[in-house]
Structure 1
Amino acid sequence: MSYVNQVNQNSKTATEEEEDLFDYAYEQPGSMPGTLNIEDDADLPEIILIDYNRDRVKRINNLTPEACAEHLDTESVSWLDVKGLGSENILQRLGKVFGLHPLVLEDVVNVPQRPKVEDYPQQLVIITQMVIPKTSGEGFWLEQVSLVVGKNYVLTVQEKPEKDCFRPVRRRIKFKKGNITTMGADYLAYALWDAIIDGFFPVLEIYGEKIEDLEDEVLFNPTNQSLAKVYQIKRELLALRRAIWPQRNALNKLIRDGSSFVDPEILIFLRDCYDHAVQIIDIIETYRELASSLTDIYLSAINNKMNEVMKLLTVISSIFIPLTFIVGIYGMNFNPDKSPWNMPELDWYWGYPFCWLVMIAIAASLIYFFWRRGWFENFSKIPKQK
């Protein structure tokens, strides 16, 4: 039996939600190959057909698995999009119609799997990871998308029926933009995979702005929450890296080895897709280095703040130490009647004002000395913690 790491949705904390980014599917030792694990809260599958050629485009919603069979051997290109993994019965029927190997169906259903490419006699199977930014602008969702490429069809299986990054591809098909309606199923698979990889760029753009804002915060106003924000960004960037890095390897494998379901002409487009994946990895690595450097900047800012505070305390202490010394001397109880050397100033008419004048002069002299040394220049720049 296959298991997926799960956390109770009703008791999740913010940290536990981010741990979902690092979930993975694994098999219980001794389990039978091809066993499907369906989550209790998974969405019921919805099958959507987009069938097209250079002359027409047809869309049908809510197809049954058996109704998909007539679209597998047509001259037109059929895109069958399955949204949701909540019914083992429907998925088993779908696997029977498409002739999916039990291990293929297991990889498609038991999510998340590591992105990869597998070439079977009847299909080419591509497992990918799609990133979807959250509407709040904080964080993202990772969703597995499986592509099964046949001679004249592409079967895509998504975890959730909500948003995906395929809208531009649907619009290109609907309005017959570009040459997608004149190409085969392999070009459609490339377009879908390219949309998945390009979906990383908007998310990375958000993280670039976050890192810039966090740099200012860490440098000029570091707080206890700043380090937690840095750590959170590093974790999320690591999750993005784990999602895109295997896809680069899968693209490289497909470009290098080829497939009977991918025309050599399409491999040229896949090279461009590979370049995008490499570019995303470079951006992620750059952001990870910046995030790591933010930790050093935070520690340096905190140490600098502490040094300035210690300098201020040192100045104050240095001013009051001689004053305390004078006050301590005149706080001694020696009787002046017993000896002329015992506190003769106690009998002076101007003794008390003179003592104050001496202490003020000493304090003013020390303040002037510290000012000349430049010790007061940075006190106004000490970050104030909110």
Structure 2
Amino acid sequence: MIWLDCVGLANIGLIEEIGRIFHLHTLALEDVVNTGQRSKADFFDEHAFFVLSMIDDARTSRYEQISFFFGDKFVVTFQEREGDPFEPVRQRIRTSNPSRLRNRKADYLAYALIDAVVDSYFPIVDATGDKVDAIEDELLAAPRKQHISQLHGLRRATSLLKRTIMPLRDALTTLIRSDAPFITAETKVYFNDTLDHAIRLAETVESQRETMIGLIEMQLSLSQSRTNEIIGVLTIVSAIFIPLTFLAGIWGMNFDPASSPWNMPELLWPYGYPAALGFMAFVAISLVLFFRWRKWL
């Protein structure tokens, strides 16, 4: 049994030569070089073709397409760039102890590689969940404007992850239900475990996406509530000062009380100024008590 891992898709001639050596179907080879394929599984006379997207850089969540060809005694993988989650599989192959990778056929090696790709999504999904939980705690404590941009960024990343994982479930289901002679019933049991992982990933991503949508709505509601609270306070302050401004405007008119007894007679009172201030304070306090009675405060 042989595993041939090809890194880089620029040398079309070499890819065609590899296809001739392993009798790979030309249509499948076209899908190898045309990146951006939807996850799928195709079956030919002597081999199967499986394509999916993988994360080759966990720090930046960079995606790339990886293609698998496997038959009875070979596995050929094509990836766009260096960097993959296959090191645990390579370590198991290097060991001198008996292992299932050495004793079983190529379909089990293909399962191990595909399962490594699927499992590589879990750290990304878990990290996203931790970020969402942290933002939720901050929102409940002290909502800020940058939370909206953070949530939108995470939601876009989660939507991309969802579009990547959802077709993977159908592709794995196709592998499990196939009757190809080079996929044994025992290996299908392992593929079924990988399918369970993919389903769990899809459910977790969908749950995170719904949580983020809810947090965005909560942030908008909190912002609206805060705005309404500020507007309510300003309205009450304005309502208190409107009658006081009215009184100050009346007493600020320049009518001479010496010309007529009806012209601002309170200007001649010895306690006119304290009386005016006292009346204005009475009006303000009365309005505050009225607002509290109506439960507007």
Q: TM-score, normalised by structure 1?
A: 0.71
State whether residues 52 and 168 of structure 2, in contact with CA within 8 Å, keep that contact through their aligned partners in structure 1.
yes
Instruction: Indicate the SS of the match to 2:49.
Output: strand
Query: Which residue of structure 2 lines up, in the alignment, with residue 119 of structure 1?
Result: 43
In structure 1, runs of 5+ residues without a counterpart are 1-76, 377-386
The amino acid across from 1:171 in the alignment is Q
Query: Which residue of structure 2 lines up, in the alignment, with residue 262 of structure 1?
Result: 183
Instruction: Indicate the SS of the match to 1:80.
Output: strand
In the TM superposition, 1:82-101 aligns within 5 A as 82-101=6-25
State whether residues 219 and 301 of structure 1, in contact with CA within 8 Å, keep that contact through their aligned partners in structure 2.
no
Q: How far apart are the structure 2 equivalents of 1:165 and 1:149? A: 18
Query: Which residue of structure 2 lines up, in the alignment, with residue 328 of structure 1?
Result: 249
Q: How far apart are the structure 2 equivalents of 1:182 and 1:99? A: 24
User: Equivalent of 1:351, from 260, 272, 288?
Assistant: 272
CA gap 1:231/1:244 in 2 versus in 1, 3 angstroms: same
The amino acid across from 2:63 in the alignment is L
The yes-or-no answer on 1:286 pairing with 2:207 is yes
User: Equivalent of 2:194, from 264, 273, 286?
Assistant: 273
Q: How far apart are the structure 2 equivalents of 1:84 and 1:233? A: 30
> Offset at 1:217?
4.1
- CA RMSD between the two structures: 2.1
User: Equivalent of 1:209, from 111, 122, 130?
Assistant: 130
State whether residues 129 and 208 of structure 2, in contact with CA within 8 Å, keep that contact through their aligned partners in structure 1.
yes
The yes-or-no answer on 1:229 pairing with 2:153 is no
> Offset at 1:364?
4.1
Instruction: Indicate the SS of the match to 1:243.
Output: helix
> Offset at 1:332?
2.1
> Offset at 1:366?
4.0
Q: TM-score, normalised by structure 2?
A: 0.91
Q: How far apart are the structure 2 equivalents of 1:264 and 1:323? A: 88
Query: Which residue of structure 1 lines up, in the alignment, with residue 167 of structure 2?
Result: 246
> Offset at 1:109?
1.3
In structure 2, runs of 5+ residues without a counterpart are none
Hey, which of these two has a bigger chunk of helix by percent?
Answer: 2
State whether residues 258 and 264 of structure 1, in contact with CA within 8 Å, keep that contact through their aligned partners in structure 2.
no
Q: How far apart are the structure 1 equivalents of 2:98 and 2:290? A: 77
The yes-or-no answer on 1:110 pairing with 2:31 is no
Query: Which residue of structure 2 lines up, in the alignment, with residue 339 of structure 1?
Result: 260
The amino acid across from 1:96 in the alignment is R
The amino acid across from 1:216 in the alignment is D
The amino acid across from 1:174 in the alignment is R
The amino acid across from 1:97 in the alignment is I
State whether residues 219 and 297 of structure 1, in contact with CA within 8 Å, keep that contact through their aligned partners in structure 2.
no
Deviations 1:281-324 (A, max 9, x none): 11111111112212211221111011111111022112212211
The amino acid across from 1:194 in the alignment is D
CA gap 1:167/1:373 in 2 versus in 1, 3 angstroms: farther
Instruction: Indicate the SS of the match to 1:262.
Output: coil
> Offset at 1:365?
4.5
> Offset at 1:227?
2.6
Q: How far apart are the structure 2 equivalents of 1:299 and 1:177? A: 59
The percentage of counterpart residues that share the same residue type is 40
The amino acid across from 1:105 in the alignment is L
Q: How many residue pairs end up in the alignment?
A: 296
